[in-house]
Structure 1
Amino acid sequence: MAKRPLTLQINGQMVGPLEVPDDLLMVEFLHEYQNLTGSRLGCGQGICHACVLILDKPDGTSEEVRTCITGAHFFNGKRVRTIEGLAKRDSSGAVTELNPIQQKFVDHFSFQCSYCTPGYVNAATIMVEKLQRQPVKRSELEQEIETALGQHICRCTGYVRYYQAAKLVLEDLGLVREG
């Protein structure tokens, strides 16, 4: 199996260069090479979005990328964030504070099995960051949440609690304007 070097930034830390098989999927790289198992392998076809990570672009925007259908080498030279990188941690690596989305999802009991939760958290994080640059009108709030979370599949909660928690986060952070 052919290998080549891979270097990227994960959760603010440079990784590599590591010799990685050409055909290794990113979800496998995260799990097997980095011990970052928060991104979940659900469908393996890019449909459920449990595996998404956040790709930070040079222009300051970000997007979710499905790691179960994207090769690790696609991320060479790029910056990504995983679910493990969103909470605040102390010097030993212990979580000291969840980010506002994670906390609201916990407070609102948004999940049951939590298998899909990392994908929802990452998608909601991208939505929050987008709306921090340009808040959403209240009249467009439901559509904004649907656009951000609508492709994610949850087999337990019926989506309602995720959507409600996302709405509360946006309101709590002052990202919803009247109009």
Structure 2
Amino acid sequence: MSLSTKPLSLTVNGKTVGPIDVPESMMMQDFLHEYLNLTGARLGCGQGICHACTIAVEHEDGTLDERRTCITGAHWFDGRHVRTVEGIAERDEEGAIAMLSPVQKAFIEHFSFQCGYCTPGFVIGATVLIDRLRREPVAREQLEDVITEALDRHICRCTGYVRYFEAVRDVVLRTPGLVIG
């Protein structure tokens, strides 16, 4: 018995990947780890509940959306552009990190994580939120609710929620045009 495969092509962190023959039943989590050696999206619950495996999908209109890789097959991403946590920071020509994103910097400044296992999912969630706020700024009095809604589905076993929340709030408040009033 052999696994049934089909070609998969997509863009990951700005680089074209494929076509690569990939088992039809393979989850994106496994494809990222086994085929691309991108291990930032973590397998936590394996049921799509904890969001440690989250990556960002870049739509044709430039907007970002979260997608859990442990419950989404790799072939769902065929033809799409995705960004993993490894693609959030700016890199130089050799691929070395040149500058962390504002979210990553804020997480470090706030000591947001303890074990760090959930951090990639939180980075993606916060990055998607900031992308949304660039297009749809929020009133200052609604900011806490908006951040809570965006991060609420991400689970941290070390109880780092307050620090993640504070870091995201700081990034949003320091970034011009995301908050009204």
Same fold (TM over 0.5): yes
Deviations 1:21-60 (A, max 9, x none): 0010000000000000000000000000000000111122
Paired AA for residue 78 in structure 1: R
Check conservation: 1:39, 1:118, Cα contact below 8 A: yes
- Measured after TM superposition, the shift of residue 97 of structure 1 is 0.6
In 1, the alpha carbon distance for the partners of 2:113 and 2:106 equals 11
Seq. identity, %: 56
AA partner of residue 164 (structure 1) = E
Which residue number corresponds to residue 177 of structure 1?
180
What residue ranges of structure 1 are gaps of 5+ in the alignment? none
Instruction: Return the letter of the residue paired with 1:136.
Output: V
Counterpart of 2:44? 42
Q: Within 5 A, what are the aligned runs for 1:29-178? A: 29-174=31-176, 175-178=178-181
In the alignment, the residues of structure 1 paired with residue 66 and residue 180 of structure 2 have an alpha-carbon distance, to the nearest angstrom, of 25
Q: 2:114–2:160: 8 Å Cα contact kept in structure 1? A: no
Aligned-pair CA distance for 1:19:
0.3
Deviation at 1:149, TM superposition (A): 0.5
Question: How far apart, CA to CA, are the structure 2 residues paired with 1:35 and 1:60?
Answer: 26
| Residues 95-145 of structure 1: CA deviation (Å, up to 9, x unaligned) | 111000000001110000000000000010011011111211111101110
CA distance in 1, matches of 2:61, 2:89: 23
TM-score normalised by the chain length of structure 1: 0.97
Q: Residue type of the partner of 1:33?
A: Y
Note the residue ranges of structure 2 that are not aligned, 5 or more in a row: none
Question: TM-score w.r.t. structure 2 length?
Answer: 0.96
Q: 2:26 aligns with which of 24, 38, 45?
A: 24
CA root-mean-square deviation = 0.8
